[in-house]
Structure 1
């Protein structure tokens, strides 16, 4: 039997083939899984990244529920044309509190990793109600029903407790004040409550609830989530190329 035909041993003997497969899979698994034990040494340290506020967390869940990630990625690649269009390339540390992260690769619509603060709350509401009213060529479906759906945040504390188990640094105080923080972020006129929110979640932006309603809507939560994307890190401190624009 020539050297080139020795693979026939594996093809004709199922036991030997199975053992060979296990060996190859084991080696491949060690190569891929081994570095994960040192992951903390490979993720950059970035100041400013914080957990989501309770309202932003609820908005993120709505974003995922409605499948927004299917058309909008949150991953700006380290290519000049992408940086010039969308902003500083995405850092792994920005998504360390995402379970799961929303990087993605498909863009039917633009990347939204840096959309926070780019448009006003009213623009986002108009875009959700009727995308073509602000972007004539948009193929995005309407999400106007979110404005008529009161936000059900009865389980937000349980969500935060689960995320804490997964490594998100929510404190007991954060969890205990979750309901109050949701009301504060949707009621910017309550200065004391907004100040308390800002101490727990730096750079959290208060957004007036639609129509001044006592209970925020699902649209309010989604807008709060969109408006924080890409706003927690001052990229000028990390890379001068952030000024390419």
Structure 2
């Protein structure tokens, strides 16, 4: 009697073969350097950018906005250079998304000023009458909680020391509260007076969006 006449043995052997094939073709490549490209131009998120990313996830922004520009002519013309594997080296989890209720944001960094983002977050319909994006003006009324920023960065292994994290937070706070901040007037319009000298959740999410695609643009200019 051959193996085909023994259904239980055949099923077990088939499962073993499939398992071995899965490990060889899926799991082993996950740990190979060639499948995890890293570029010196791609920098880990700063403490403020990471806090902004967490807010972005918390508010479900990735449900309506993708962060993947496919290598198609029409997409490149609209959004910019197509997405590269190395630019997601520090994304945990990935936020590629699958729906474009709103435009793709993978190249939004530096496309608009901070002032533009403050106005848009505060009232999307005030800038685009037919926009179906809900207003997020209330984020400017929430003080940013950075108590766990260093812990988050440590878990993600971004390599910043506690002192560097504290400095990143202090530097960004100094930037957005400075009298000569180029978007100060707009920020003051959307931020309650009591929080104008503090960091808010809106400051953080804008910092995150201004990061998206910025490093890849630097990489492309070197080619």
TM-score range, shorter chain: 0.7 to 0.9
Unpaired stretches in structure 1, ≥5 consecutive residues? 191-204, 239-245
Q: Which residue of 2 aligns with 1:103?
A: 96
Greater displacement, 181-190 / 135-144? 181-190
Partner of 1:222: 205
- 1:198 corresponds in structure 2 to none
Output one character per residue of 1:85-131: Cα deviation in whole Å (capped at 9) or x when no partner: 11111111111111112122221111111111222222212222221
Deviation at 1:140, TM superposition (A): 1.2
Report the alpha carbon displacement of residue 43 of structure 1 after superposing the two structures with TM. 4.6
Output the CA distance in 1 between the equivalents of 2:135 and 2:94. 24
Q: Aligned equivalents of 1:66 and 1:229: distance in 2?
A: 17
Inter-CA distance 159–206: structure 2 relative to 1 (3 Å threshold): farther
Moved over 6 A (4+): none
Displacement of 1:29 after TM fit? 2.3
What's the counterpart of residue 36 of structure 1?
Answer: 30
Deviations 1:171-225 (A, max 9, x none): 45423534423423433459xxxxxxxxxxxxxx997593271211111111111
Q: Is the 8 A contact 2:38 2:89 kept in 1?
A: no
Answering whether residue 66 of structure 2 is matched by residue 76 of structure 1, we say no
1:127 aligns with 2:120: yes
Please state whether the residue corresponding to 1:177 is helix, strand or coil.
helix
Size of the alignment, in residue pairs? 214
Measured at CA, do residues 179 and 7 of structure 1 come closer, stay the same or move farther in structure 2, by a change above 3 Å?
A: same
Instruction: Give the conservation status (yes or no) of the 8 Å contact 2:68–2:83.
Output: yes
Q: Deviations over 1:50-94 (max 9, x none)?
A: 111211111111001101011111111111111111111111111
CA RMSD of aligned residues (A): 2.7
Counterpart for residue 53 of structure 2:
60
